[in-house]
Homo-oligomer: A and B are copies of this chain.
């Protein structure tokens, strides 16, 4: 019961990247570099797809929303993300989606990174979209429609500029204020920005159509007549059961590409289609085992829902950046007794530190 506890050892400490640290990291590296780096990390992991432990996310549903755990492992590193989805949060000044994630060493089970993932998910989602478009969008595409100008919008814009060479953006949102916010945020980037009065106006001349609306149940953001031949559709917003953005007829005219079919059939646009409707897994496209875009008239559709491997890639990237940027805090998260059998003794020897209680 006497003596001072010694400081926790290196192994007992888990580097933690807070929201403030994530923003510092993004600025230290540069947001467009982060986006293209993330695309590289995601592509690397998709190229070793079969190595990963894959499982649809574990969801806990409630009347207001859902809380999910998304675990995966490559056999050496284990990762998971905690993420919620609560569409009504926005009306109370809260984020619809908040997230954090963790990496651990598979060989001993010790966590090695804890990170905010609200910002990181926004970044990896945009990087994933642009990476898919690199394989699927028409060659030389310069113009993208962005329908839905909420929290994901600007990240998409920058990822498509950096990774796909997009120069012109055509914005539409049912809330004009959201469009104005996005155009203000992107005003100094050198991108050519156009606010549009309707979704039909927004898609005019666009080779890529990105839909990222948030809280409509079975909405129809894109109808069949709006989608001309040869475009690539990047459908972000349809990402949980009962939430879709595209008319079924659009799906039937498209070649559909997905991350992980078992999950996308539950959560993606293709929940509108029979369970045996043909889709192509993106990892096969990246590795050359399946065709991406084959001709100029083909409509390609990335039915994006977000998969655990992408979060794994993003966390792996952040971990690799820590020694370079130094933006993290060591958390005393793991008990580390000198003798692993003597957990009780460690607790008791800490008594000297403090025994006061606030009233």
The SS class assigned to the A binding surface is: mixed
Q: How far is the CA of A325 from the CA of B92 in the complex (A)?
A: 31
Let me know if B28 and A334 touch, CB within 8 A: no
Inter-chain contacts of A65 with B (CB < 8 A): 108-109
Stretch of A132-140, A251-259, A282-290, A347-355 contacting B (4+ beta carbons < 8 Å): A347-355
Let me know if B109 and A333 touch, CB within 8 A: no
A8 at the interface (CB under 8 A from B): yes
A294 at the interface (CB under 8 A from B): no
A residues 4-47 with Cβ under 8 Å of B?
Answer: 5, 8, 11-12, 16, 18-20, 23-24, 26-29, 31
A219 at the interface (CB under 8 A from B): no
Asked, given contacts A118-B334, A344-B154, A357-B324, whether A82 binds B102 with beta carbons under 8 Å apart, the answer is yes
Let me know if A26 and B347 touch, CB within 8 A: yes
Let me know if A106 and B67 touch, CB within 8 A: yes
Q: How far is the CA of A24 from the CA of B350 in the complex (A)?
A: 7
Interface size for A (C-beta < 8 A) is 98
A150 at the interface (CB under 8 A from B): yes
Kindly supply a per-residue 1/0 record for chain A positions 319-359, scoring 1 wherever the CB is within 8 Å of any chain B CB and 0 otherwise: 00001111100011111110111111111101101111110
Let me know if B82 and A345 touch, CB within 8 A: no
Copies of this chain, how many? 2
Let me know if B71 and A354 touch, CB within 8 A: no
Let me know if B108 and A86 touch, CB within 8 A: yes
A interface residues with partner B (beta carbon < 8 Å)? 1, 5, 8, 11-12, 16, 18-20, 23-24, 26-29, 31, 53, 55, 58, 60, 62, 64-67, 69, 71, 73, 75, 78, 80, 82, 84-86, 89-90, 92-96, 98, 100, 102, 104, 106-111, 116, 118-119, 122, 149-151, 153-155, 178, 181-182, 184-185, 188, 323-327, 331-337, 339-348, 350-351, 353-358
